[in-house]
């Protein structure tokens, strides 16, 4: 496993990356930074499922056990490399990729595919970031356009309201002037008649 970590570190340095150790947890974990992205590295041994054969048929392994097991897991001798990019404090979300030993190819020969996967992930994230920024820019422009349309509509409505109000004010002024003139004419007529 140390040889595998050394190989990862050498490849990371060759590809403008770095390897460090996270001390934020009780058990420190190696961190791999390549293409500006930091991923956590973990190793584990794969488990294989085998048929469970009890030492004494019909006997339970534990007193609390109600049913005898049909299968159990045993170490397979195959090493598995886990590279995960967790988002924030949540470990349920984020990117996770695994590489493992196979009968034909050991894990040491798959280091190049690890870095290809990390590069592909970095490119995918960069593409997603550019798409998000383009979408945000489009939304900002849409909001500006809608704001300009709203202001233009309010300006037209204000202009129409002012025009309507001025016409009404002229009519009201004329009606008031006519009413006053009519009252004065009637008063003058009554004075003449008197």
Token code pair at residue 50? 């085998």
CA–centroid distance for 159 within its chain: 45
Determine the pLDDT at residue 163: 93
pLDDT of residue 90: 47
Gap between the Cα atoms of 26 and 90, Å rounded: 17
- What pTM does this model have? 0.58
Q: Is residue 95 scored above 60 in pLDDT? A: yes
Q: What's the rounded Cα separation, in Å, for the pair 80 and 44?
A: 5
- Alpha carbon distance 120, 125 (integer Å): 9
Least confident range from 18-22, 43-47, 77-81, 143-147: namely 18-22
**Is 129 or 71 the better-scoring residue by pLDDT?**
129
Check residue 125 and give its pLDDT.
85
Report the 3 state secondary structure along the chain: CHHHHHHHHHHHHHCCCEEEEECCCCCCEEEEEECCEEEEEEEEEEEEEEECCCCCCCCCCCCCCCCCCCEEEEEEEEEEEEEEEEECCEEEEEEEEEEECCCCCCHHHHHHHHHHHHHHHHHHHHHHHHHHHHHHHHHHHHHHHHHHHHHHHHHHHHHHHHHHHHHHHHHHHHHHHHHHHHHHHHHHHHHHHC
- Better pLDDT: 97 or 146: 146
pLDDT tier at 127, thresholds 50, 70, 90: very high
Q: What is the pLDDT of residues 169-185, one digit of tens each?
A: 999 999 999 999 999 99
What pLDDT band is residue 5 in, cutting at 50, 70 and 90?
confident
The reported pLDDT for the residue numbered 165 is 94
Confidence of residue 65 (pLDDT cuts 50, 70, 90): low
pLDDT tens per residue across span 11-55: 777 766 777 777 777 777 788 777 777 888 888 888 888 887 767
102-129 mean pLDDT: 84
Mean pLDDT over all residues of the chain? 82
Separation between Cα atoms, residue 114 and residue 94, nearest integer Å:
17
Alpha-carbon distances, residue 52 vs 49, 55, 65, 166 (angstroms): 9, 9, 14, 95
- Residue 6, pLDDT > 70, answer yes
Q: Is 11 exposed, middle or buried (0-12, 13-18, 19+ CB in 10 A)?
A: middle
The pLDDT assigned to 109 comes to: 83
Spatial distance between the Cα atoms of 20 and 38, rounded to a whole number of angstroms: 10
Average pLDDT over residues 140-149: 97
């Amino acid at each position: 496993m140390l040889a595998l970590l050394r190989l990862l570190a050498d490849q990371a340095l060759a590809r403008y990356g770095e390897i460090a150790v996270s001390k934020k947890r009780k058990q420190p974990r190696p961190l791999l930074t390549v293409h500006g992205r930091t991923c956590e590295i973990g190793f584990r041994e794969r488990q294989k499922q085998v048929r469970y054969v009890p030492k004494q048929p019909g006997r339970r392994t534990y007193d609390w056990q109600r049913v005898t097991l049909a299968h159990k897991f045993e170490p397979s001798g195959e090493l598995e490399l886990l590279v995960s990019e967790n988002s924030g404090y949540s470990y349920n979300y984020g990117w996770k990729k695994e590489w493992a030993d196979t009968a034909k190819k050991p894990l040491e020969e798959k280091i190049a595919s690890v870095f290809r996967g990390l590069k592909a992930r970095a490119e995918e994230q960069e593409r997603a970031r550019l798409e998000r920024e383009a979408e945000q820019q489009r939304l900002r422009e849409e909001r500006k356009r809608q704001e300009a349309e709203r202001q233009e509509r309010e300006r037209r409505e204000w202009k129409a309201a002012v025009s309507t109000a001025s016409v009404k004010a002229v009519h009201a002024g004329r009606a008031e002037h006519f009413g006053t003139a009519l009252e004065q004419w009637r008063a003058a007529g009554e004075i003449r008649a008197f």
